[in-house]
Amino acid sequence: MGNTKPIIESLAQLENSLRSHSSMVEDMNPVFDRIRRNELSAIQIEGVLAQYSLLPKAIVEFLSTGTSRLQGWTNIESELERNVAEEMGSRTEGLSHYVILENALLRELGIDVENVRATVGTKEFLDSIKSGLSHQSAPYVAGMLYALEASAVPELMIVAKLVNHYARMIGLNSPIALSGMTVRKQNDVSLVNDRYSLNVFFASHLWDFEVGHRKRLALTITEDLPTSPTCVSLLESGFNFVLTAMDSWWFSMSIKNASTDLAYDGCVVTNVNNNEIPVS
């Protein structure tokens, strides 16, 4: 192994750069900008959450594609395989993380994301990630994968706040306790009914799953990535490509009606209290 200092420094700089991306920071996020100006209705916010759900739905495919593209990078391969196993339920009683989220959204908020159709903006985003992972060079792919993992915590924090805002809009209490959130113990029988609640889902990802994914992937990239300036540059390009695509995606979700029409056909839907939510 050569001098890994350039790789370690690059990964740290990339993580710090998340703060400059509008999709990652509430004060800059285009959806929250529309919310602050009272320009999004409940049904439109529901549409945003529905579109967002297509990213965790696709994450196993992305990680699996990355694994196949990085064959021979044994440490990264092992970490990605372990990551995929977690996403598929190795630590959650065989329930995939996406299914847990899907069920919790329906049970607690009445949001059914099972058959959501991607808007143009969402399709462009997901297709761009698939294409990059499939066709770019190995160091570039490593950068893309690191972007997906490093961005997970700030993006999930945005989504958690969006979930709470939506709940309040439809007359429910905020389901996610972001202040002093703790991950509940799996063996606590008294909590069996809310073991896979929205609160537990977001807590376990914000403070456990995604933190571990980012740290372990960073370590294995440091172990496997060639230390040449060209490889480090490609790593950074892959990372920046994903974050730029995420910024564009969140902007597309903020545009009035873009997150409503294709997600729910512009129909009046009902929340868990059977109250109609009109489309504005």
DSSP code string of the chain: ----HHHHHHHHHHHHHGGG-TTT-TTT-HHHHHHHTT---HHHHHHHHHHHTHHHHHHHHHHHHHHHHTTT-HHHHHHHHHHHHHHTTTTTTT--HHHHHHHHHHHHH----TTPPPPHHHHHHHHHHHHHHHHS-HHHHHHHHHHHHHTHHHHHHHHHHHHHHHHHHTT---S---TT--PPPTT-GGGGGGTTSHHHHHHHIIIIIHHHHHHHHHHHHHHHS--SHHHHHHHHHHHHHHHHHHHHHHHHHHSTTTTTHHHHTT--EE-TT--EE---
Q: Which residues pair with 276 in a beta bridge?
A: 270
Q: Which CATH architecture best describes the domain 5-265? A: Up-down Bundle (1.20)
pLDDT band, residue 1 (cuts 50/70/90): low
Q: How confident is the model at residue 109 (pLDDT cuts 50, 70, 90)?
A: very high
Give the pLDDT confidence score for residue 145 in this predicted structure: 98
Residue 208: pLDDT band by 50, 70, 90 thresholds? confident
Bridge partners (DSSP) listed for residue 269: 277
Average pLDDT of the residues in 105-114: 96
| pLDDT, position 102 | 96
Q: What's the confidence (pLDDT) of residue 41? A: 94
14 compared with 280, residue with greater pLDDT: 14
Range with the poorest average pLDDT among 47-51, 192-196, 233-237: 192-196
Q: Is 187's pLDDT higher than 50?
A: no
How sure is the predictor about 191, in pLDDT bands with cuts at 50, 70 and 90?
Answer: very low
CA 263 and chain centroid, separation = 18
Q: Which residue has the higher pLDDT, 265 or 48?
A: 48
How far from the centroid of its chain's Cα atoms is residue 100's Cα? Answer: 14
- Mean residue pLDDT across the chain: 88
Report the alpha-carbon distance of residue 54 to residue 272 in Å, rounded.
22
pLDDT for 181:
56
Q: What is the pLDDT of residue 179?
A: 77
Count of residues making up the chain: 280
CB 51 within 8 A of CB 118: yes
Give residue-wise pLDDT tens across range 230-277. 999 999 999 999 999 999 999 999 986 554 444 444 333 334 444 433
Query: Binning pLDDT at 50, 70 and 90, where does residue 168 land?
Result: very high
70-99 pLDDT, tens digit each: 999 999 999 999 999 999 999 899 999 999
**Would you kindly state where each structural domain of the chain is located, as residue ranges?**
5-265
Residue 140 predicted with pLDDT over 80: yes
pLDDT, residue 209, reads 85
Query: What pLDDT is recorded for position 178?
Result: 87
pLDDT at 3: 86
pLDDT value, residue 258: 53
CA dihedral sign, ordered 144, 97, 256, 21: negative
* d(C-alpha 262, C-alpha 124), whole Å: 14
Q: Which residues pair with 277 in a beta bridge?
A: 269
Taking residues 145-170, report their average pLDDT.
97
Angle (CA) 250-169-113 rounded to 5° is 55
